[in-house]
């Protein structure tokens, strides 16, 4: 599970997908109340891209 805290409100951030570019990014789980977003961290991106080798799947 990805645990990144929102820098603005401290709530956990969740993976969202930009519908126009198909790119994943992190958005605050309090959205639309909190509109904080962050680019997907590189290590998380690699973990998701390497899905076939994910432990526990």
Q: Which residues bind Zn ion (CB under 5 A)?
A: 6, 8-9, 28, 30, 34, 36
Closest contact distance (angstroms) between CB of 46 and Zn ion is 25
- Pairwise CA distance, residues 27 & 57, whole Å: 25
Give the C-alpha distances (Å, rounded to integers) separating 38 from 11, 26, 54, 56.
13, 5, 23, 27
Closest contact distance (angstroms) between CB of 38 and Zn ion is 10
- Toward Zn ion, which CB reaches closer, 4 or 34? 34
- Toward Zn ion, which CB reaches closer, 9 or 46? 9
């Amino acid at each position: 599970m990805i645990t990144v805290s929102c820098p603005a409100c401290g709530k956990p951030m969740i993976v969202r997908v930009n519908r126009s570019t198909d790119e994943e990014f992190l958005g605050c789980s309090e959205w639309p109340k909190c509109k904080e977003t962050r680019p997907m961290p590189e290590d998380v991106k690699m973990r998701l891209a390497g899905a076939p080798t994910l432990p526990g799947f």
